[in-house]
Structure formats: structure tokens, C-alpha cells
Amino acid sequence: MSLLELIAGADERGLAASGVACLDRCLPSPADGSEPEPLRSLWAGCESGAEWAARLDAVHAALEGPAAGDATAARVRVLFGEAPRDFAVGPLRAWADACSLLALEIHREFDFPAGDGTVASLRHLADGAGGATGSGPLVTGELRRQAEILESLAETAGPAGGGTGLRRILDLSTEGRRVLRAVMSRRARGRGRPGDASPE
């Protein structure tokens, strides 16, 4: 199944966790070197939607400081602000789709080769048409990770596998975040070297 098909078939839990995971991977490293986990409480709400709206508001507020000085974090914060307060399939699906697209956009910006970053191009990739041909390793890996997360959530639906499924998703997302942060860090160091050409 393509990524778009997986999003279309996901339930509330799958859509919420998928959206949170996409945004979690895109959060840059804190400037002061600390490792706060502003999304921890929101992960807990993905299982049943418990206190979903309050948890969203808390995350949005927690990201206010980091977002002020980082363009990528600011984009993530905007999407948290636009997240539906109702834990329902319809609004969550639209939000999860937007989170998926933003994650692909950010990975494409730091990829090599950068390729075509238009919305139409990224949706073409998510639709599975032609696979990930022409994409760099970051986008290819992100497409695979998003699909794996949605598939894993679908396989662990229900009370018996719910907690295990979310722990697996958190592990996958943390791994992806480390990869993207490493690339972001190298890009930042490259920009800071005298005489280096801008990679943009």
C-alpha cells in the first residue's frame, strides 16, 4: 500500500500517533544542548485520545521558546497549533496528512540531492507512483519510516497491542530524529566555516 492509502485507512489512534511521530522527527536539537521531551505527554494521549486537546495546548506552549529562534521548529509548532482538538477520524486524517507532508518537505530540504520539493512532487511520492525514484536518502528513508509506522500501528490495534505498538513507533521516530538532526548539524557547521559555499 502507498503512504496515502495507509493514511486513508488508519483509525484515530494511528492518525494521531503518525502525525505526532512526523513532527517529533523534525524537531531540531535544543540550542542549549539539553534534551527536553515536550511531546512525551502527547504520546500518551495517542492511544485513546485522553485529554488530547489539553495535551496539544501544552506541547504548543512548550515549543514557544525553541520555535522563536528556529524556522523548522516554528513550522512544527504551527502544525501543533492547527491540530484538531476533537479526537476523531476526519479531522485527524487531514492533520496527519499535513504532518506527513511537512516531514517530507523538511527531509527534502536537507537531502542530497535536494530534488523537486514542490507539494505536487511530494504527494506523487506519497502516492507510490514511481516509488521514490530521484529522491535522496533522507526522503527515501522518511517515506519508508512513515509507512512502517502506519503499518505497525494497524497491526497492533486494540487493547492487547496498543501500548507495545506505541513504544515501537516511539523507537522508530527517535531513530529517524537522530538521523535528521545529524544532517542538520553538519549543514549548520558547513555554513559556519569561513569560505564555505552555502549549500542552499
Domain boundaries in the chain?
3-185
Question: Tell me, what's the pLDDT at 33?
Answer: 54
| Rg of the chain over all Cα atoms, to the nearest angstrom | 17
How many Cα neighbours within 13 Å face the side chain of 163? Answer: 2
Q: Which pLDDT belongs to residue 115?
A: 58
> Rounded to whole angstroms, how far apart are CA atoms 150 and 98?
15
pLDDT at 31: 63
Q: Is 53 exposed, middle or buried (0-12, 13-18, 19+ CB in 10 A)?
A: middle
The CA–CA distances, whole Å, from 75 to 23, 48, 83, 151, 177 equal: 9, 26, 13, 26, 16
Query: Residue 192 has what pLDDT?
Result: 53
CA distance 95 to 89: 10
Question: What's the whole-model pTM score?
Answer: 0.85
pLDDT string in tens for the chain (200-residue length): 899 999 999 999 999 999 999 999 998 876 655 555 778 889 889 988 999 999 999 988 888 765 555 888 889 989 999 999 999 999 999 999 999 999 999 999 888 766 556 667 777 777 875 555 557 889 999 999 999 999 999 988 765 445 677 888 989 999 999 999 999 888 877 765 443 333 33
pLDDT of residue 161: 47
Rounded distance, CA 164 to CA 153, Å?
9
CB 18 within 8 A of CB 98: no
How many whole angstroms separate alpha carbon 21 and alpha carbon 25?
Answer: 6
**How many beta carbons lie within 10 A of that of residue 160, not counting itself?**
9
Q: What is the pLDDT of residue 40?
A: 82
